[in-house]
Amino acid sequence: MNQNQYDSLIDSLVESVKDYNLDDSFDHYDAIVEICSNCDHSFVYYKAWQLVNFVKFDHGSYDDTLFDEVEREVQDNDHNTDDITLNDYMMTYAFNILKVATLKKYESQVKEVA
Environment class of residue 102 by beta-carbon count within 10 Å: exposed (0-12), middle (13-18) or buried (19+)?
Answer: buried
Amino acid at 43: F
Name the more confident of 107 and 81: 107
- Residue 51 belongs to domain spanning: 3-113
Q: Does the pTM exceed 0.85?
A: yes
Return the DSSP state at 25: S
For 10-52, the pLDDT digits (tens) are: 999 999 999 998 888 899 999 999 999 999 999 999 999 999 9
- Number of domains observed in the structure of the chain: 1
Rounded to an integer, what distance in angstroms lies between the CA atom of residue 99 and that of residue 33? 6
Query: Would you say the C-alpha torsion 95, 44, 20, 98 has a positive or negative sign?
Result: positive
Q: Which residues contact 69 (CB under 8 A, 6 or more apart)?
A: 100
